[in-house]
Amino acid sequence: MSRAASTSPAIESWNPATGERLGTVSEASVADVRAAVSAARQAQLSWGALPVSERAARVSRLRGLIVARADALSAQISAENGKTRFEALMMEVFPLAELVRYFCKHAEEILAPRRIPLALMKHRRSYVHYAPRGVVGIIATWNFPLAIPFGESVMALLAGNAVVLKPSDLTPLIAEAALSLFREGGIPDDLVRIVHGRGATGAARIDASVDQVCFTGSVTTGRKVAAACGERLIPCTLELGGKAPAIVCDDADLERTAQALVWGAFANSGQVCASVERVYAHTAIHDELVTRVVEHAARLRQGDPASFETDVGAICFPRQLDVARALIDDAVAQGARVVLGGAALPLSAGPDGFPRSFFQPTVVTHVRPSMRILREESFAPLLPIMRVTDVDEAVRLANDSDYGLLGYVFTGDRAKGRAIAERIRAGTVMVNDVLMTYGLPETPWAGVKHSGIGRVHSAEGLRELCETRHVHHDAFFTPPRELWWYPYGKSTYKNALKALRLFLGGRGGA
């Protein structure tokens, strides 16, 4: 049973592009959350006992279902989240199907026990093995309501865990549609449970003693989640905000760079934690770059996300309209210039009284490092571009941020691009491209500084969903006693001192 009892308060879902009501779900009570965690824990016992290969075989059925329902899923994501149909397909459905394929193929290898070579104790052996944690609590955000929470769910299942997921209260119907695929694919009902709600529901799930928390959302809420987990000694993975810088060198291919920046800033209406949120352009190419960016951005078609001819869709969370406006106003008051866009579309509310939320793709120049538009995450289609004199200044400004999720470098010299990328403090830095590494399940997705802790995706991300346990055992023979056991004495001390000098002194210790 995925929802709470019908007597619980209702959460309404609405279309941010049309303002139409899409449906309701029931909000879970504290008792509902505890019951879901308890049922999931019971279901996990038999699931976690299965070999990894068997788990992978069962989870792999999801890929065919995702592909078969791709068009319907894309339409529902577009309606409830506001991104375009194409973005829903390519940024959510496609990556989820690929994640299922990749990890079902490689999970057994990734989670295989690993031997630890021992330098001294040649008669002993050590290895680590990976055991399920138990119940993983996933707290999801609204900007990628399918790819993020259900990708994490798939990985948690392959690691042998059960899942209790709290979707965003802005996108609950997408979660229900995805859950139906898990049911159709034969995943046991209690192994993946959904509890709808708001912040209190997420807190109740931590109180219900899940064994790990995976949170995606704001830095402010992430701190609260981390504090709650820390108090209970529950491991957590936090994927938080970003303020991704893009450094454009004087030798960059400006046409490719301009197109990349436009897509990187305005895809999903800028509601991507990896969005290009600030550009540092070398003075030699700054003006031409701005001209090309404005030309490409001005051609973007904004409107109904359900239309296949729309490039930029709606803003899912209306509060981001106010955030965008405040950042622009602050910049303009300090001398910045809005060279394209700069306003919310003046639309009346929808037929059910909900707002229709669109913000124009916006390009801002003459910005300075002190401006909020270069320091605070906008989560809106804003692209500030700043002129810099050289790479060193660009790197310094790129690193002058509390965030460190993604960074970008554009240059015609590949070796130079890699060298600059290694100087940027971010979990991932891309050279001559933007955004798309989340769609590559092989690669890690992690932030530094205030952008989060822990990893999702990659072999490391899968292993983080497990307890890493160490086994140490005898290999060839078992002596009657070890040299360092009781009783102590002068001779044992001298023998230990000789061993220290022999193995770790002089050239032997170099």
Cβ(194)–Cβ(11) below 8 Å: no
Q: Is there a domain that residue 79 lies in?
A: yes
Catalytic residue among 239, 277, 376, 377: 239
Q: Which of 411, 441, 471 is the last residue of a domain?
A: 441
Cβ(407)–Cβ(398) below 8 Å: yes
Residue-level pLDDT at 507: 64
* Residue 165 structural domain: 10-239
Shared domain check, 220 and 347: no
Asked whether the predicted pLDDT for residue 349 surpasses 90, the reply is no
Classify the C-alpha dihedral 150-155-156-160 as positive or negative.
positive
Q: Which of 239, 264, 295 is the last residue of a domain?
A: 239
Asked whether the predicted pLDDT for residue 152 surpasses 50, the reply is yes
Asked whether the predicted pLDDT for residue 509 surpasses 60, the reply is no
Buried b (16+ CB within 10 A) or exposed e, 183-213: eebebbebbbbbbbbeeebbbbbbebebbbb
CATH code for position 218: 3.40.605.10
Asked whether the predicted pLDDT for residue 508 surpasses 70, the reply is no
What does the pLDDT average to over 117-139?
95
- Report pLDDT digits (tens) over 377-406: 999 999 999 999 999 999 999 999 999 999
What is the per-residue DSSP string for 276-297? EEEEEEETTTHHHHHHHHHHHH
Shared domain check, 337 and 430: yes
Q: Is there a domain that residue 5 lies in?
A: no
Q: Is there a domain that residue 253 lies in?
A: yes
Shared domain check, 227 and 284: no
Tell me whether residue 460 is one of the annotated catalytic residues: no
Shared domain check, 186 and 234: yes
CA distance 103 to 109: 10
The pair phi, psi for residue 503, each rounded to 5°, is -90, -30
Catalytic residue among 104, 229, 236, 273: 273
Shared domain check, 264 and 188: no
Asked whether the predicted pLDDT for residue 129 surpasses 70, the reply is yes
CA distance 88 to 472: 48
User: Which residues on adjacent β-strands are paired with residue 406?
Assistant: 428
Shared domain check, 304 and 173: no
Kindly state the percentage of the chain with pLDDT values over 90. 89
10 Å Cβ neighbour count for 173? 19
Number of domains in the chain: 2
- Nearest CA to 265 out of 306, 232, 236, 294 is that of 294
Q: Is there a domain that residue 478 lies in?
A: no
Residue 357 half-sphere exposure toward CB, CA atoms < 13 A: 28
Q: Is there a domain that residue 209 lies in?
A: yes
Shared domain check, 259 and 214: no
pTM of the model: 0.94
Q: Is there a domain that residue 498 lies in?
A: no
User: Which residues on adjacent β-strands are paired with residue 164?
Assistant: 137, 193
Tokens for 79? 């309606």
Shared domain check, 272 and 179: no
pLDDT grade for 218, boundaries at 50, 70 and 90:
very high
- Nearest CA to 382 out of 268, 258, 266, 246 is that of 266
Tell me whether residue 255 is one of the annotated catalytic residues: no
Strands 124-132 and 466-474 turn out to be antiparallel
For the chain, give the mean pLDDT: 94
- Report pLDDT digits (tens) over 12-64: 999 999 999 999 999 999 999 999 999 999 999 999 999 999 999 999 999 99
Cβ(312)–Cβ(371) below 8 Å: no
CA distance 29 to 197: 8
CA distance 270 to 19: 20
Tokens for 444? 């890690």
Asked whether the predicted pLDDT for residue 165 surpasses 60, the reply is yes
Q: Is there a domain that residue 503 lies in?
A: no
Q: Is there a domain that residue 343 lies in?
A: yes
Shared domain check, 214 and 255: no
Shared domain check, 255 and 127: no
- Report pLDDT digits (tens) over 62-71: 999 999 999 9
Shared domain check, 147 and 42: yes
Shared domain check, 282 and 144: no
Place of tokens 């009657």: 480
Q: Which of 397, 418, 441 is the last residue of a domain?
A: 441
Asked whether the predicted pLDDT for residue 478 surpasses 80, the reply is yes
- Residues with Cβ within 8 Å of 393's Cβ and at least 6 positions away in sequence, in order, are 280
134 DSSP 8-state letter: S
- Report pLDDT digits (tens) over 223-275: 999 999 999 999 999 999 999 999 999 999 999 999 999 999 999 999 999 99
Residue-level pLDDT at 6: 41
What is the per-residue DSSP string for 379-430? -SSEEEEEEESSHHHHHHHHHSSS--SEEEEE-S-HHHHHHHHTTS-SSEEE
Place of tokens 């996108």: 171
CATH code for position 393: 3.40.309.10
